[in-house]
Homo-oligomer: A and B are copies of this chain.
Amino acid sequence: MKKAVEQSVDRPAKAFSSEVATGSRRENASKQESGAPFRSHRNEKGPRAADRIRASASELFYREGIRAVGVDEVVERAGVTKPSLYRSFASKDELAAAYMRDYDLDFWEKFENPGGKSYSDPREHVLAYIRVLSTRAVREGYRGCGLSNATVEYPARDNPARQVAEAHKKVLRKRLRELASSMGARHPAVLGDALLLLIEGIYSTGQQSEDGPAQSALAVAKLLIDASVPKP
């Protein structure tokens, strides 16, 4: 239960293995000692069932919401059958948690390298992320942050997906405080929180309309930073 949470969420992650955290029911990381690619059984064409299910779930859960999507739809889109899902995931809730972990990994890639570039200056780093984010957020069909959305869908604290989301947000908060500190902010905690509140505001309003306040987000971010960091 708790193990799952700590699986991929507790590190801002400098480098990522393309192999996502499994977090599945089957705990057999054993038998990995053989060197070869371990393609194991079954047909060579395409990823195995569990991976196809993860991908299918990620897309559907993000676009339509977790509660709105049934497991039948997930497996149909994945081109597999329901028992395959339940062989790899203990329940729909656990599948949702896996989706959260995948989302988390994806997030950090986008956050640490906004627009595919890396930044040494923390101010430019944050502004680049917000620029990219707010551009996405004003486009039609934008659905905000999958992690924040899951928190809305599942108010119960012990929900596995929610736990992953909560852990993620905690790390993000710490990371933003870190960046605010690097900028030389007078009160790094306040600037970090300000940026987090701003980012969550973009997530939220971005899915409420295409023509929303996310348009002003970059200007607001600059305002916040410049008001918080003493001039050189």
A residues with a Cβ closer than 8 A to B are: 63-65, 67-68, 143-144, 148-149, 151-155, 165-166, 169-170, 173, 187, 189-190, 192-194, 196-205, 207-209, 212-217, 219-220, 223-224, 226-228
Contact = CB atoms under 8 A, between A and B. Distances in A.
Contacts of A207: 151-152, 155
A211 to B, nearest CB: 9
A153 B165 CA distance: 17
Nearest to A168: B208
A216 B197 CA distance: 9
Interface centre among A170, A202, A227 (most CB of B within 10 A): A227
Contacts of A187: 219
Contacts of A151: 204, 207-208
B224 A197 contact: no
Counted per complex, copies of this chain come to 2
Given A193-B216, A196-B213, A155 B173 contact: no
A202 to B, nearest CB: 7
Contacts of A200: 200-201, 204-205
Query: What 9 A-B pairs have minimum CB-CB distances, sorted nearest first?
Result: A197-B201, A193-B213, A193-B216, A227-B227, A201-B201, A200-B204, A200-B201, A194-B220, A152-B152
Contacts of A65: 67, 152-155
Contacts of A215: 193
9 contacts: A67-B153, A148-B204, A155-B207, A169-B209, A192-B213, A194-B216, A199-B201, A201-B204, A224-B227
A190 B152 contact: no
